[in-house]
Amino acid sequence: MSGTKATPKKAFNFFDAVEKPTEWLIRLCGWSSIIGIAAIFLFIFKEAAPMVPRLDWFHLFTSSRWIPNPAPGNEASFGALALLVGTFTTTFIGLVVAVPVGLGAAIYISEFATGKMKETLKIVIELLAAIPSIVWGFIGLMVLGPLVSQIFSAEPESVWSHIMVTLHLASSDTGAAQGTNLLTGGVILALMSVPLIVSLSEDALRAVPDTFREAALALGANPWETVRRVLLPAARNGLLAACMLGMGRAVGETMAVLLATGHSNRIPLALTDPVRTLTATIAAEMGETVHGDDHYRVLFILGIVLFVITCGINVASDFIVKGVKKANQA
Amino acid sequence: MNPPPQTPAQRPAPRDPAPETDVLGTPETRLRTAGAPLGSTGASVPAPAAGVAGADNPFAATPFERTKRRRLKWNRWMMFGFCIILIVPLVAILADIFIKAAPVLSLDYLWANPENKGKGGGIWAPLVGTFYLVIGSLFFVAPIGILAAIYLNEYAKEGWLNRTIGITVTSLAGVPSIVHGLFGLGAFVLTMLPAINGALGLTSHKLEAGLLTASLTIAVMNLPVVITSTREALGAVPQAFREACWNLGATRWQTIRTIVLPNSFSGILTGIILVVSRAAGETAPILFTGVTFFKFVADEGLAKIFPYHPGEPFMAMSMHLNIISNQISRMPENMKYGSAAVLIALILFINSFAIVLRVWLRGRKRW
Amino acid sequence: MSKQNRLRRGILLGAVIATSTSLLAPTRTFAAEIRVKGSDTMVQLATAWAEAYRKVKKDVLVNANGGGTGTGMAALQNDTTDICNASREIKKEEAEKTKSHTGKEVKEFVVAYDALAVYVNPNNPITEISVPELTEIWAEGGATTTWDQVNPAMRGKIVLVGRQNNSGTYDYFREHICGKTSDKKQREFRSGISELNGSSEVVENVAKTRLAMGYSGMGYKTDKVKWLKVSNKKGEHGVEPGTDVARSGKYPIARKLYLYTAGEPRPEVKAYIDWILSPAGQKIVEQEGFVPLN
């Protein structure tokens, strides 16, 4: 062949022309989540930093005297013990209700339900998960609160009032002081975390290989025995991780507890005492502070404490799940 | 531990000889009526007779098996009961909210602005504010999230970078919403805004905490959702498709652009819709980054449809519900329930749309 | 162009149009804007003023928000508000901080009087209380925790409902009721008081809770609660909250409501404040349940 054939000119395509810059953009965006989490750390620490050396950390974690706006002439007191106790007790009550209900529902959906029923239940759980937290707070305030107040009220000297006081269900002998309290807050947190626990537990149960189920069936077990003696132990770590993530969600919840717990700075002695959580404190008091004030920085420090707690829970549950993957592959 | 299963010969004679009632008949009743002898296994079995005490039926349920069946039934109902405990009260509560809100709900309610601090009028201003917040946050989160997921799935090799990004995505998803609010306050309101104001030299019409900062905060909060759902969608595209493209000489970006992205469109769309529903419902992140309870909005005209400038505070449904729940005196109960009902209806509608879309698009897949 | 491409370009074009229109939209159709922040006690009053003023001057937009007196003071210092509503007098440190942050002296305007009512549940038989008794109930280390210590007719633990700690109402009640410690320092509130966000929330809570006692502005009374007559000393006749006794000082827990600006207010802000002090503005004060100046 003599000479070179003239190569036809390639048609200009916009997207091909920007391929290199686009790939750089993609690489940059890939780092976005790392940048995001680093930025959160950075900015929260930056705002809290000046207070960190000056704060009495021992007092923060051991005293429940939270007086950020003292009378003129008095010292401010930043004791967050009651707030921490409030956070943990509401989460605890929430988990006590959510874990059995969530695991039970997950087991039912995963092992017992079939076809249409299964699809419907999964869709309903997904829709429940979508309800925003302010609506849950509203429900706690307007619907659940009066209900709790009615159930836990009694005439003085009646039997129910004696039972309530003995079992620490109520502080006073006429029952619950107000409807928005630890119990209401805990139940609302439970209702919020159940969908998360259900979907994650269902994933964990699905991850157990079918060979386990077939082996159990071959040995003559009926479905309940398969669940109880084979699947639950096998999916144990995944289920534990699901509950821990539910707990993480409950710890970080703000608006629902702001409306439903009664916002009272005290260590609860009975189930129907009003309490206050870390998250509600930050939300309620942040708007008032002067930027750069001591109170402002202490609220950021509370934010750090909250962040550390939830990060810890997430990392722990991650490790638990990784342990499971290795065991199932072995 | 269960005792080892007993062979028919070892089995004690059943005390209750009646077999389970079954329309077709259990195997043993069928054999009995047919008159066929049992025992090809060699075990000698006395001739069975229904209803005779002490009759030896090897396939009848032992008391142990009956206990097991009973326990199964009982536990199955208990698990179902848990589902019911979860769902029925919630459906009842939601129904209650909608019933109590019914007197105020109407098209006028949606179109009119709140009057008298929310005691009268409608919820147009908060509703349109929520709409703009959602659009704003999508504007920031969709491109970054989708591109990040493309990077993770298509470009990044397995290694420490990929694992780190995975960890950071999970951590970002677990950060409490109020901490996101604090971050938004520190980063966007207190650092970014003064920088922009300084750079643009604005002194009188300064940009304040408003739609811009709130959208950015919600965008950061929803980044993990978009990344995760897009990753799943991209992962669902079979590797064979990509390999076919590479064999034809396409570059990686060309493959993504022409084959992978269009085929994972449904999954990406589902993720986007999830972001929409989360952005519409959140309150805590926007509390200090730009939302306000009360702001005058024009009652008619173009300014009613575009009432908020990115640099000024805006109203939102979630904040509106937060404040009228218990901070306005003599607030009619109906208005509270009305606001809650509209918010719930909005969220449920968006999520149902996402579910329907997902099911429909999955049905259309051709592989 | 294929149908898909046309659709995509149409969407892109529509998005661009929408974004640019919204950014250029005439949102600031008002000649002037006045930002008002501060006291939750005054927020209903402030909003009523804002709405009425809009009819007087159509081209001035008044944005009224609550958040608590502390929030308003903070906003004044951060220069994010023009007027700060306050249900207590400004503290010395706040005035100094405002001066150092904005460079201007604070100007004070008294716009109304208010009486702080002590609310109890309608089922509570008690009708009177004295300031020393209130001190023992509300202050840190106080001796009174049950109702029968106040009056044997009523039994049960006293459930205390108050305002959040940035509220001017909180500050005022603390200063005038909690008294002083032995070394002349101001006593703080006892712990365990429900700190509610807003004056009406207190009233609603007291209405639903049989054993509750709460404090809030007298303008927030509903017919679901009742208020106690307050006397200066135990045994004296108590005085019910009312307009005359608040102005004359006969009611022990009466206070002034203030507006603060940083420096001399701008012309439109001054016009607004003048309008508030005029009979038209004071009529609204009376309508909202507060005590007008004269």
- Interval A243-297: pLDDT, tens: 998 999 899 999 999 989 888 888 888 888 889 999 999 998 887 777 778 888 9
Beta bridge mates, C213: C120, C160
Q: Which of B25-34, B344-353, C41-50, C155-164 has the highest mean pLDDT?
A: B344-353
Beta bridge mates, C116: C217
Instruction: Name every chain B residue with its beta carbon within 8 A of the beta carbon of C66.
Output: 293, 327
Question: Is residue A108 less than 8 Å (CB to CB) from chain B?
Answer: yes
Cβ neighbours of residue A149 closer than 8 Å, sequence gap 6 or more: A175, A176, A178, A179, C208, C209
CA distance B121 to chain A (A): 21
Range A229-245 burial, b when 16+ CB lie within 10 A, else e: ebbeebbebbbbbbbbb
Instruction: Name every chain B residue with its beta carbon within 8 A of the beta carbon of C44.
Output: 117, 328-329
Side chain identity at residue B310, one-letter code? P
Residue A5 pLDDT level (bands cut at 50, 70, 90): low
Beta bridge mates, B309: none
Average pLDDT over residues C141-158: 84
Give the integer Cα–Cα distance in Å for A240 and B70. Answer: 29
Instruction: Name every chain B residue with its beta carbon within 8 A of the beta carbon of A223.
Output: 72, 76
pLDDT at C92: 85
Residue ranges per structural domain of chain C: 31-113+256-287, 115-254
Residue C72 pLDDT level (bands cut at 50, 70, 90): confident
Candidate from A153-157, B192-196, B290-294 with smallest mean pLDDT:
A153-157
Closest to A182 (Cα-Cα) out of A150, A144, A154, A155 = A144
pLDDT at B134: 92
Average pLDDT over residues B143-149: 92
Is residue B23 predicted with pLDDT exceeding 50?
Answer: no
**Is A264 in contact with C71 (Cβ distance < 8 A)?**
no
N-to-C CA span, chain C: 77
Contact C258, C269 (CB under 8 A): no
CA distance C58 to chain A (A): 30
Contact A99, A243 (CB under 8 A): yes
Contact C22, B139 (CB under 8 A): no
Side chain identity at residue C200, one-letter code? S
CA A227 to chain centre: 27
Candidate from A217-221, C16-20, C190-194 with smallest mean pLDDT:
C16-20
pLDDT at B31: 45
pLDDT in tens, C168-220: 788 888 888 888 777 777 888 888 888 887 788 888 888 888 888 999 888 88
Q: How many CB pairs under 8 A join B and C?
A: 66
Residue A192 pLDDT level (bands cut at 50, 70, 90): very high
**Is C26 in contact with B303 (Cβ distance < 8 A)?**
yes
Q: Indicate the helix (H) or strand (E) that contains C221.
A: none
Range A273-284 burial, b when 16+ CB lie within 10 A, else e: bbbbbbbbbbbb
Mean pLDDT over the full length of chain A:
86
Average pLDDT over residues C153-176: 83
pLDDT in tens, A73-90: 778 889 899 999 999 999
Beta bridge mates, C217: C116
Candidate from A213-217, B97-101, B355-359 with smallest mean pLDDT:
B355-359
Percent of chain B with pLDDT over 90: 21
CA B361 to chain centre: 18
Is residue B215 predicted with pLDDT exceeding 90?
Answer: yes
Let me know if A28 is exposed, middle or buried by CB neighbors in 10 A (0-12, 13-18, 19+): middle
Residue B57 pLDDT level (bands cut at 50, 70, 90): confident
Candidate from A6-15, A125-134, B186-195 with smallest mean pLDDT:
A6-15
Residue B1 pLDDT level (bands cut at 50, 70, 90): very low
Is residue B47 predicted with pLDDT exceeding 70?
Answer: no
Percent of chain A with pLDDT over 90: 32
Closest to B174 (Cα-Cα) out of A304, A300, A311 = A311
CA distance A72 to chain B (A): 27
Contact B114, B320 (CB under 8 A): yes
Q: What are the CA-CA distances from residue B322 to residues A139, A210, A258, C62 (Å)? A: 12, 47, 10, 22
pLDDT at B366: 67
Residue C22 pLDDT level (bands cut at 50, 70, 90): low
Is residue B29 predicted with pLDDT exceeding 60?
Answer: no
Residues B270, B131, B95: CA angle, nearest 5 degrees: 75
Is residue B49 predicted with pLDDT exceeding 50?
Answer: no
Is residue B50 predicted with pLDDT exceeding 70?
Answer: no
Q: Are C31-113+256-287 and C115-254 the same fold in CATH? A: yes
Mutation choice for A interface testing from B85, B86, B152, B221 by most A CBs within 10 A: B86
Residue ranges per structural domain of chain A: 2-51, 57-329
Tokens of B60: 């009848």
The dotted CATH code for B106-363 is 1.10.3720.10
- Find where tokens 């079939």 sit: A114
pLDDT at B334: 87
Range B325-363 burial, b when 16+ CB lie within 10 A, else e: bbbbbebeeebbbbbbbbbbebbbebbeebbeeeeeeee
- The 3-class secondary structure across chain A, one letter per residue, is CCCCCCCCCCCCCHHHHCHHHHHHHHHHHHCHHHHHHHHHHHHHHHHHHHHCCCCCHHHHHHCCCEECCCCCCCCCEECCHHHHHHHHHHHHHHHHHHHHHHHHHHHHHHHHCCHHHHHHHHHHHHHHHHCCHHHHHHHHHHHHHHHHHHHCECCCCCHHHHHHHHCCCCCECCECCCCCCHHHHHHHHHHHHHHHHHHHHHHHHHHCCHHHHHHHHHCCCCHHHHHHHHHHHHCHHHHHHHHHHHHHHHHCCCHHHHHHCECECCCCCCCCCCECCHHHHHHHHHCCCCCCCHHHHHHHHHHHHHHHHHHHHHHHHHHHHHHHHHHHHC
- The beta-carbon neighbor of B347 closest among A22, A130, A225 is A130
Q: What are the CA-CA distances from residue B304 to residues A62, B104, B297, B300, C259 (Å)? A: 53, 21, 7, 5, 32
- Find where tokens 């703009």 sit: B132
Any idea which architecture C115-254 has in CATH? Answer: 3-Layer(aba) Sandwich (3.40)
Helix crossing, B177-184 with B211-236: angle to 10°?
Answer: 130
Average pLDDT over residues C55-65: 81
- The beta-carbon neighbor of B326 closest among C25, C27, C201 is C201
Average pLDDT over residues B252-265: 87
Q: Collapse the DSSP code of B95 into the 3-class scheme (helix H, G, I; strand E, B; otherwise coil) and give the result.
A: helix
Mutation choice for B interface testing from C7, C27, C40, C63 by most B CBs within 10 A: C27
Q: Please name the fold of domain C31-113+256-287.
A: D-Maltodextrin-Binding Protein; domain 2 (3.40.190)
Side chain identity at residue C71, one-letter code? T
DSSP state of B311: T
The complex's ipTM works out to 0.87
Top CATH class of A57-329 equals: mainly alpha
Contact A182, A275 (CB under 8 A): yes
Give the integer Cα–Cα distance in Å for A164 and A157. Answer: 11
Average pLDDT over residues A12-38: 84
- The beta-carbon neighbor of C78 closest among A276, A285, A291 is A291
Q: Indicate the helix (H) or strand (E) that contains C215.
A: strand C212-217
Residues B239, A110, B1: CA angle, nearest 5 degrees: 120
CA A133 to chain centre: 11
DSSP state of C222: -
Residue A98 pLDDT level (bands cut at 50, 70, 90): very high
Give the integer Cα–Cα distance in Å for C112 and C225. Answer: 24
Chain B residue set in contact with C, beta carbons under 8 Å: 116-117, 132, 205, 208, 292-296, 298, 302-303, 306-310, 312, 326-331
- Find where tokens 């300031």 sit: C131
